[in-house]
Amino acid sequence: MNGFFYYVPFVIQNLFFVFFLPIYKIFTRFEVRGQENLKNLKGPIILAPNHTSELDPTAIPLIFPFLSPLLPIYSVIYPIERYKTADWKWRRHIYTRSFFSVLGGYPSYSGNRDYQKSLKDHISLLKKGRTVCIFPEGKCTIDGNINNAHGGLGFLAFETGAVIVPLVVNTFFGLTFRDFIMRRKKIVLTILPVITREQIIKVTNPRVQDFQNASQMVVEKLKENYQNSVESFVDLDNTINLEKPTFFRGLFHFFLIPILNNLPKSFKKKISQTHRGAKVVIDNATNHQALEVLYSQGRLFSAKNFMNKVFQNIWFHMDNSKAVRNRLKFVMRELRRHLESIARYDREINVISIASGSARAVIETVEAGEYLKEAKLSLTFLDKNPDAIEYSKKLSTKIQHLPLKMEWINDTVGGFFKSVPNKEFDIVEIVGLLDYFNDDKAVETFRSIYAILGNGGVVITANINHNREEKFVSNVIDWVMIYRSVEQLAKLLVKAGFKKKKMKVFYEPFKIHGIIVAKK
């Protein structure tokens, strides 16, 4: 294999970040999701995307960082003779061996009926630790759907031991020039969790059918995520005083965050000494006390000196601190909107806050709701922490003058649903708890919530998303959470019985917290 054509793809594919990335960002609102699934990944790897258009190869390298060691991507393409037919029209004059070679495309060899011979170049690349892309379907879709798999993917994984990275391309199919210019279509590439050889090939001496079955298992993952994809957006609502990214703060964090992310865990004590609010957050990570300090921007505690003020400004104006305050404002907005829509009902309106903590969102929304003065409102607050229950009771004095019922339940979520009261709820607020539940537990909880919601009732929920401060928060502050994109959270709701078309799925401006309002 010619050395010139071996390394030139690295340069060209990195130039895609200069040319294609800005074009796609502007005209297709291009987005890559699931990049956490590439974390700590080393070659060899096999990329397995669905094939939606001849534009796919221009976008696929963009899932990696600029100058990534996993670049270049070497693609499995048709035998060169296939591109010389009239079917390719004017493109047959462009699609030459040299054209594909400089872009990283290497043809399979047809007519051998032998994967070992057909894919010999790609086997060689993988054994050298490279990244190879193969479309499991073997051809581009003609109807927008994902086709069944051929066996080449399964064979490459078996022969080389390379891990497979399934990639959902959603979708260049049907993209017209008018759609492109008018920005009518959003292109999303979703990186799914890595699949190993052992997960898809269970036999010692696999045959052709085994390779096809292995490839099909990967394709089923693609289909599942392609069909269940949910489109989200970043909500920049100017009416609720959101905190938003700024250039100078972003520039400061560009230098600060890498330093914080690499601090040793022992540094936590030193951070506690910089400001009393920081100490309370660290000592009470995961509970209502830490959140209350973050909501107040640390102002619950006065700064004793100039350096205290400096560190207060640093810690409580990090992206995560701002994002959690934005989350509170969005939850209050959604509570207000739904309470306004049902306040006129001539019946009891039931609202429950699960893992309620201080219950600030519900209490302050009700306090500000003039429209609720005549409503028959019943509020239930569930939390396993008795201190949180007492705190929210004190906070609720703000609304005790209103004609409403309030009940506090000191129990776990699982315990509550085992003996759930015989009534239907109009609103279920569960914000923060999913940050600590694995997927199975989250789906189980959402199913239970679906069961207690009345028809037309809504659940308001959220999850923390992967972000650049994650390592510092987890390893140094010791606030360990389960990070999910809002799209991943939406899929868990779908598994529990909620419908995609009845969800509003969005991020706050920092894209650190994703919020979903799902209607039954």
Average pLDDT of the segment spanning 253-273: 93
Question: Do 350 and 376 share a structural domain?
Answer: yes
Q: Where is 425: in which H helix or E strand?
A: strand 425-431
In a domain, 234, yes or no: no
Provide the mean pLDDT of the chain: 90
Average pLDDT of the segment spanning 255-264: 94
| Residues 380 and 407: beta-carbon distance below 8 Å | yes
Question: Do 350 and 273 share a structural domain?
Answer: no
- Beta-sheet strands, E only, within 23-138: 31-33, 45-49, 73-77, 105-107, 131-133
Look up residue 274 and give its two tokens: 């910089």
The DSSP call for residue 182 is T
**Confidence band of 5 (pLDDT split at 50, 70, 90):** low
Question: Do 361 and 305 share a structural domain?
Answer: no
Phi-psi group of 497: left, alpha or beta (phi > 0 → left; psi -120 to 50 → alpha; rest → beta):
left
Q: Nearest-5° angle of CA 383, CA 384, CA 388? A: 60
Say whether pLDDT at 379 is over 80.
yes
In which residue are the tokens 């493109």 written?
Answer: 91
Question: Phi and psi (nearest 5°) for 383?
Answer: -155, 145
Look up residue 279 and give its two tokens: 């100490």
Pairing assessment for the beta strands 513-519 and 503-507 based on DSSP bridges: antiparallel
Separation of alpha carbons 128 and 106, rounded Å? 15
Say whether pLDDT at 130 is over 70.
yes
Residue, of 179 and 321, whose pLDDT is higher: 321
| Model confidence pTM above 0.75 | no
Q: Which of 119-128, 274-283, 341-350, 479-488 is least confident?
A: 341-350
The pLDDT value given to residue 375? 82
Which domain-ending residue is among 229, 260, 282? 229
**Confidence band of 297 (pLDDT split at 50, 70, 90):** very high
- Strand-pair partners of 349: 377
In a domain, 441, yes or no: yes
Cβ-defined contacts of 173-179 (< 8 Å, 24+): 173/52, 173/53, 173/141, 173/144, 174/144, 175/28, 175/53, 175/55
Taking only the tens place, the pLDDT of each residue in 72-95 is 999 998 888 888 888 888 888 888
The pLDDT value given to residue 6? 65
Average pLDDT of the segment spanning 261-290: 93
The pLDDT value given to residue 470? 94
CATH classification of the domain holding 364: 3.40.50.150
In a domain, 252, yes or no: no
Taking only the tens place, the pLDDT of each residue in 427-477 is 999 999 999 999 999 999 999 999 999 999 999 999 999 999 999 999 999
- For 146, 446, 482, 495, the CA distances from 442, given in Å and listed in that order, are 29, 6, 11, 10
The pLDDT value given to residue 361? 95
| Residues 268 and 257: beta-carbon distance below 8 Å | no
Taking only the tens place, the pLDDT of each residue in 208-244 is 899 999 999 999 999 888 866 677 888 999 899 999 9
Separation of alpha carbons 425 and 346, rounded Å? 15
Average pLDDT of the segment spanning 378-386: 95
Pairing assessment for the beta strands 131-133 and 73-77 based on DSSP bridges: parallel
Question: Do 309 and 165 share a structural domain?
Answer: no
Residues with Cβ within 8 Å of residue 207, at least 6 apart in sequence: none
Say whether pLDDT at 494 is over 60.
yes
The pLDDT value given to residue 338? 93
The pLDDT value given to residue 422? 81
Could you list the residue range(s) of the whole structural domain that residue 47 is in? 3-229
- Beta-sheet strands, E only, within 118-248: 131-133, 163-170, 188-191, 233-234
Question: Do 378 and 356 share a structural domain?
Answer: yes
Of all residues in the chain, the percent with pLDDT exceeding 90 is: 64
Question: Do 333 and 274 share a structural domain?
Answer: no
Question: Do 362 and 427 share a structural domain?
Answer: yes
The pLDDT value given to residue 409? 95
| Residues 310 and 303: beta-carbon distance below 8 Å | no
The pLDDT value given to residue 2? 54
Residue, of 39 and 512, whose pLDDT is higher: 512
Separation of alpha carbons 351 and 353, rounded Å? 7
Nearest to 134 by CA among 227, 35, 60: 60
Look up residue 293 and give its two tokens: 């300090």
Look up residue 5 and give its two tokens: 């054509």
The pLDDT value given to residue 347? 87
The pLDDT value given to residue 371? 76
Question: Do 364 and 293 share a structural domain?
Answer: no
Say whether pLDDT at 384 is over 80.
yes
Separation of alpha carbons 489 and 434, rounded Å? 9
Question: Do 288 and 398 share a structural domain?
Answer: no
Separation of alpha carbons 129 and 123, rounded Å? 10
Furthest C-alpha separation in the chain: 83
Question: Do 501 and 456 share a structural domain?
Answer: yes
Question: Do 89 and 157 share a structural domain?
Answer: yes
In a domain, 255, yes or no: no
Separation of alpha carbons 359 and 362, rounded Å? 6
CATH classification of the domain holding 130: 3.40.1130.10
In a domain, 103, yes or no: yes
| Amino acid type, 143 | D
In a domain, 248, yes or no: no
Average pLDDT of the segment spanning 309-333: 95
Q: How many domains does the chain have?
A: 3
Question: Do 281 and 192 share a structural domain?
Answer: no
374-392 residues labelled b (16+ CB within 10 A) or e (exposed): ebebbbbbbbebeebbebb
Which domain-ending residue is among 229, 251, 282? 229
In a domain, 240, yes or no: no
In a domain, 307, yes or no: yes
Which domain-ending residue is among 229, 245, 260? 229
